[in-house]
Every structure is written in C-alpha cells, then in structure tokens.
Homo-oligomer: A and B are copies of this chain.
Amino acid sequence: MSFFDKLKFDANGLIPAIIQEQSTGRVLMMAWMNRASLERTVNEGKTVFWSRSRQKYWVKGETSGHFQKVKEIAFDCDGDTLLIQVEQIGAACHEGYRSCFFRSVENATGDKITEPQLAKPDEIYGKK
C-alpha cells in the first residue's frame, strides 16, 4: 500500500504541509500541496507547493533561490497533514525572515517580532 493511499486530501484536493528545519527544529512555514506537487516533492527532493491564490504550482525558491531540500516526510495519524523536514537555503519567509513565524503574541492583544530580518524583500525578489 502506497503511503499516498493513507493521505486525505481535502475537498479541493489539498493537504497542508508544515515545513520544519531539520537541523534546528524551527518551524519555517506552512503551505499547501496537492497530490501532484507532493509527488514532485518526493521525486525531486525539494518542496513544491500548490498556490491557492495563484492556482499554480510553486517551487519554493524558484524566484529567490531559497530552495528547501527535503530530508524527511512524515504524516499525521489522520493522514490529513504533512510534516516535512528540510534543509533551508536562505530565508523561508518572503518577508526576509528565516521563518514565517517571526511574530509572537506578547500579551492578550499585542505582538512583537522575535527574530532578525535576514534580508529585505527587495533584495530577494527585486523591486516591484
């Protein structure tokens, strides 16, 4: 039985993929995959997502060079979420932070930035 048969894709054919940096345990981002992008991720060894907003495949790093090399793929008890260990090149976040989760709740209502910005988005993607 293929592990694909143990996965449950949602009504739109998608499954959320949590991306974790293997060397540090830092959770970098969460994005969505469909079956074909997961197959590409398995076969190509780098993360490939499905962009819900752009309705197209999205090779992480194809514009920025910030690829994610896949080290391990796990899935949860319900088969409806993936946890992918990677080696992250550069910044995972399009805002130039290592992790997309660079803001934390500080009290009941406020928030604070918890890590340094490695690069300005303009430096990664060019000025728009």
Contact = CB atoms under 8 A, between A and B. Distances in A.
Contacts of A18: 18, 27, 30
A9 interface: no
Contacts of A104: 72-75
Interface in A93-113: 93-95, 97, 100-105, 108-111
Q: Which of A3, A73, A75, A102 has the most CB of B within 10 A?
A: A3
Number of copies: 2
Contacts of A55: none
Contact of A3 (B20, B29, B94, B109): B109
A83 B78 CA distance: 19
A36 to B, nearest CB: 14
A85 B100 CA distance: 15
Contacts of A108: 42-43
25 contacts: A3-B103, A3-B109, A3-B111, A4-B109, A6-B111, A16-B16, A24-B25, A25-B26, A27-B27, A27-B83, A29-B76, A72-B105, A73-B104, A73-B105, A74-B103, A74-B104, A74-B114, A75-B103, A75-B105, A75-B111, A76-B93, A76-B100, A77-B93, A77-B94, A77-B102
